[in-house]
Structure 1
Amino acid sequence: MAELIEVASNLKFPEGPIAMPDGSVILVEMFGPRLSRVHPDGTVETIAEVPGGPNGAAIGPDGAAYVANNGGRFTMLENDGLMFPGPTTPGKYLGGSISKVNIETGEVTDLYTECNGVKLVAPNDLVFDDQGGFYFTDHGMTEDEDRMAHLTGIYYAKADGTSIKEVVFPAHEPNGIGLSPDGTILYWAETWNGRVMRRKITGPGEVEAVDMVDTWQCLYGLPGFQLLDSLGIDGDGNVCVATLVNGGITVISPDGQLVDFVPADDLLTTNICFGGDDLRTAYITLSGTGKLMKTQWPRPGAKLNYLNT
């Protein structure tokens, strides 16, 4: 792998990077809490203050940024110069939501706070399909007195705020989410299980039913104590999943084989996206140290819907 190069530092737990056509990177700062733009020269501009805990972001069909907001589900802790997401602070949790941010004006609009009367707990990440809708994960509330609170689901919603439904249940603390390059497979990472899961998509917001013992739905499980965060998909369909504790990007092929592990020198390596004219520039968020890094990737990233990189 090529050398990791620092793009920006002093970020408040960066996540959800989006490589924009102008060479900038839009990302969330979970402990900002805000949506920010990192310019190619490393300067950081606040697009909007986003109360709660912005955790993931994606560009929608209208050019707005859609943000998965955990509502302040995590409290920032610091240890040995690193930032960590700690337990929820009573009284500061606002409830989970999906918001839309006008990246030109900074206007923030809440689109969804519940699904069929059930409140969203801690939305974490989202990805748009080519039909104008998006899939998103709800990470849940691990330390809740209800021991089942970490079992949440995968949702599908329309960008105009008119429709939301649960498409997968249960999911165990789902985190990053992505689509295969042809849009037929939905992938998500389960943090504490260290597993990348998948379902076949049969239509917009529709996934194939599976038996609970169907091993196909688990693409790959990492050995030992390795936790998973967000992910990106490359042009070959490999799942590039940010891996916590050992700190780096684990690359898994569409047939469930380990392709590579790219170390990133941060226990809390949280996400990856692809940009540049050839989509071979990988941007990686190092949340513990508050940095955005970049490197040349051996394969181009998959093209995202509504983002003409």
Structure 2
Amino acid sequence: MITPECIWPLGAELGEGPVWSKTEKAVYFVDIKRKQVHRYIAATHETMTWPAPSEPGFVIPTSGETFICGLRKGLYRFDPRAGTFDKLVEVERERTGNRLNDGFSDPQGYLWFGTMDDEEQAPTGAVYRVSDAGAIERRDDGYDIANGPAMSPDARTLYHTDTRGQTIYASDVDGHGMLSNKRVFVKVQGSAYPDGMAVDAQGCVWIALYNGGCIERYSPDGKQIDTVAFPCSNITKLVFGGDDLRTAYVTTAMKGLSADKRERETLAGALFTFRSPVPGLPQNVVTRGLVHAG
């Protein structure tokens, strides 16, 4: 039985996108609706918060000391030392109701991310990959909420989430980042919605369930093999960190909770941790495309 521990009861409205900084031994994550980037240093429990210019969907570390941050309508360079956000490129100018959502870097150093309809109703979201030249290349389309991109240990399978459709898809990835053979990996039942996810060293996929109060672990062939229950409803994403990559950090949210549930779920929006029975994959950093721009 895995029991999560609350390590920062910050009450995030929409906590999301935890990433592990190996150099700082810290977790970075965002609160999308409150337009904030947060940092939690594991050894000292020291916390830091930066205001963002608009809703941050993700922050992904680069090979330097900065991050690529997906704000509402573009990719920015975030420098935590100065607290600055410098615009790199605009995204989806023509899809005015959309915003950027979840993202990650693959083992080759390429940035992948999704977009979504901010009203969570229209299938205007898409999945993108940033090329070596910094071009924003659309790889899939037709999502209300494109979420949770993650990759298998051999980098041949991309997992990506249609949150409103309660479906996690798997697609084959070639050496040029092109997708093919899209298929259903997991279909979530009931009232829970799949959100962000992470893959462990055994190739198993850990899926955070919004309105599901848990994280579910699935084998590479899509069979559920474990569940981690939380004392709040909205679980959004996890990342594996620590020196042995067995310390999971998990973001949660208050968004969508009734007044009664907000009162009862006193740890909603907190940052949690738990020890995993197996290590996760190392945190990839962005080394290609926009990293050296500007």
Query: Into which bin does the TM-score normalised by the smaller protein fall?
Result: 0.7 to 0.9
CA contact (8 A) 1:178 1:231 kept: yes
CA distance in 2, matches of 1:39, 1:277: 13
Gaps of 5+ in 2: 255-267, 287-294
CA distance in 1, matches of 2:34, 2:120: 23
Q: CA deviation at 1:166?
A: 0.4
CA distance in 1, matches of 2:253, 2:95: 30
After TM superposition, where is structure 1 displaced by more than 6 Å over at least 4 residues in a row? none
CA distance in 2, matches of 1:204, 1:44: 39
CA distance in 2, matches of 1:124, 1:277: 28
Q: Which of these residues, 43, 52, 55, is aligned with residue 54 of structure 2?
A: 52
CA distance in 1, matches of 2:235, 2:174: 32
Partner of 2:222: 256
Deviations 1:215-249 (A, max 9, x none): x6110101122111111111111111110112110
Q: CA deviation at 1:273?
A: 0.5
CA distance in 1, matches of 2:154, 2:69: 24
CA distance in 2, matches of 1:156, 1:306: 14
Gaps of 5+ in 1: 72-95, 211-215
After superposition, the Cα gap between the structure-2 partners of 1:159 and 1:62, relative to the gap in structure 1 and judged at 3 Å, is farther
**Alignment coverage as a number of residue pairs:** 270
Aligned amino acid, residue 8 of structure 1: W
After superposition, the Cα gap between the structure-2 partners of 1:119 and 1:134, relative to the gap in structure 1 and judged at 3 Å, is farther
CA distance in 1, matches of 2:56, 2:77: 11
Which stretch shows the higher mean deviation, 242-251 or 105-114? Answer: 105-114
Let me know the Cα RMSD of the aligned residues. Answer: 2.3
Say whether residues 1:219 and 2:219 are aligned partners. no
Say whether residues 1:38 and 2:4 are aligned partners. no
Which stretch shows the higher mean deviation, 185-194 or 48-57? Answer: 48-57
Aligned amino acid, residue 36 of structure 1: H
CA contact (8 A) 1:116 1:165 kept: no
**Superposed counterparts of 1:131-280, under 5 Å:** 131-142=108-119, 149-158=122-131, 162-208=134-180, 210=181, 217-280=183-246
Partner of 2:20: 19
TM-score, scaled to structure 2? 0.84
Percent identity reads 24
CA contact (8 A) 1:194 1:221 kept: yes
Partner of 1:28: 30
